[in-house]
């Protein structure tokens, strides 16, 4: 290193201080390498960036690259002290910086709003646009979270974490559409959604699965309480009027409801299929009623086990006939 230092043609304030020379040269070279790597990575992944962001990234890459070159010139000047070149490049860096700031002033607000926009897009993707309830994907995601929470709990904590899934289907909804039109049908669906929102707790999740099918996830809810909620919903739906129409005195629509406690040993789809069968029993036995089936998951059940539907029907109370309640 001493030989290298003696080769400095113009001399330097670092000439007789080796540690100071190592400190500045190493820092400048390390920073230069880091600054060169960032534009390189931007160049490699440029096709993954949206068109609107490309001007900002190009300016940012130019700014970082100019800073890297400036640090390289600083390391160069330890030997050559050519401060004219370094000074000119500082002007280049300054101009690039001002241009980058101008571009950011134009595109910056959009960049800052992007996380909020993405969050809103994710939320909208899980919502039913007509009723404002969760759609099928949002509801099933909530069921999956509830099952995971139940699997992680043990003993008495698991029984307290047991949630109930309620499936609801409107009886006679097609007749409303045929008689009063699809606009009236949409208003009726929104009225049903209001009934569901008012009936559930803050922790619960209501969803529209499609058409006239709805679902409610009652988190950490005892089955008797869930049955009472379902019965309240059934009676309120039967009493729904239809605005702006001269409807009959009889209920426009009624509802068939099936519910059961979620079994943490089973998958989301299997739980859904089992409760859907209970809903079918409610419709098959005359509609306008609530049918339910209890379940007691053994505390010793391993969380990774996933019985087949046939096995699940034989476990605990799954082999029982669903009980129904109506007026």
pLDDT tens digits for the chain (327 residues)?
445 444 444 445 555 567 777 777 788 788 888 888 877 887 787 777 666 677 777 888 888 888 888 878 777 776 677 778 878 888 888 888 888 888 877 777 776 666 666 666 666 678 898 998 999 999 999 999 999 888 887 665 566 668 999 999 999 999 888 888 889 899 999 999 999 999 998 889 999 999 999 999 999 899 999 999 999 999 999 998 865 555 554 568 999 999 999 999 999 999 999 999 999 999 998 899 999 985 433 333 333 333 333 333 434 444 456 677 666
Q: What is the spatial distance between Cα 4 and Cα 6, in angstroms, rounded to a whole number?
A: 5
Cβ-Cβ contacts under 8 Å for 160 (sequence gap 6 or more): 153, 220
Written as six digits, the tokens of 88 are: 């000119």
Please, what sign has the CA dihedral across residues 14, 20, 26, 32? negative
Q: What is the spatial distance between Cα 29 and Cα 114, in angstroms, rounded to a whole number?
A: 35
Written as six digits, the tokens of 107 are: 């595109």
Q: What is the spatial distance between Cα 263 and Cα 223, in angstroms, rounded to a whole number?
A: 13
Long-range contacts, stretch 10-16, CB < 8 angstroms, 24+ apart:
10/80, 10/81, 11/81, 12/77, 12/78, 12/79, 12/81, 14/78
DSSP state of 225: H
Predicted confidence (pLDDT) per residue in 74-133, tens digit: 777 766 777 788 788 888 888 888 888 888 777 777 766 666 666 666 666 788 989 989
Query: What are the chain's domains?
Result: 2-125 (no CATH), 136-325 (3.30.70.270)
Which residue in the block uniquely carries the two structure tokens 């640090």? 71
- Give the CA diameter of the chain: 106
Q: Are 242 and 134 in contact (CB under 8 A)?
A: no
Q: What is the spatial distance between Cα 36 and Cα 66, in angstroms, rounded to a whole number?
A: 9
- Count of C-beta atoms within a 10 Å radius of residue 3: 6
């Amino acid at each position: 290193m001493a030989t290298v230092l003696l080769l400095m043609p113009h001399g330097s304030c670092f000439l007789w201080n080796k540690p100071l020379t190592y400190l500045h040269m190493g820092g400048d070279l390390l920073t230069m390498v880091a600054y060169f790597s960032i534009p390189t990575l931007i160049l490699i992944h440029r096709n993954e960036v949206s068109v609107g962001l490309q001007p900002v990234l190009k300016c940012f890459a130019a700014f970082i690259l100019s800073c890297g070159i400036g640090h390289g010139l600083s390391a160069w000047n330890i030997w050559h002290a050519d401060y004219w070149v370094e000074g000119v490049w500082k002007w280049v860096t300054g101009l690039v910086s001002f241009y980058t700031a101008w571009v950011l002033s134009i595109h910056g607000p959009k960049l800052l709003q992007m996380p909020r926009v993405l969050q809103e897009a994710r939320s909208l993707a899980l919502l039913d646009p007509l009723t404002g309830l969760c759609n099928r994907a949002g509801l099933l995601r909530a069921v999956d979270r509830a099952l995971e929470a139940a699997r992680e709990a043990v003993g008495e904590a698991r029984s307290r974490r047991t949630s109930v899934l309620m499936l609801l289907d409107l009886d006679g909804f097609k007749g409303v559409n045929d008689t009063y039109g699809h606009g009236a049908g949409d208003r009726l669906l929104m009225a049903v959604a209001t009934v569901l929102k008012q009936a559930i707790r803050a922790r619960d999740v209501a969803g529209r699965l499609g058409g006239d099918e709805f679902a409610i996830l009652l988190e950490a809810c005892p089955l008797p309480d869930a049955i009472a909620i379902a019965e309240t919903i059934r009676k309120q739906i039967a009493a729904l009027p239809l605005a702006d129409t001269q409807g009959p005195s009889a209920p426009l629509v009624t509802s068939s409801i099936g519910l059961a406690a979620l079994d943490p040993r089973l998958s989301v789809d299997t739980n859904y299929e089992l409760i859907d069968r209970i809903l079918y029993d409610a419709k098959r036995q005359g509609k306008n009623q609530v049918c339910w089936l209890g379940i007691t998951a053994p505390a010793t059940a391993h969380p990774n086990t996933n019985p087949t539907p046939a096995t699940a029907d034989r476990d605990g109370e799954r082999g029982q006939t669903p009980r129904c309640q109506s007026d």
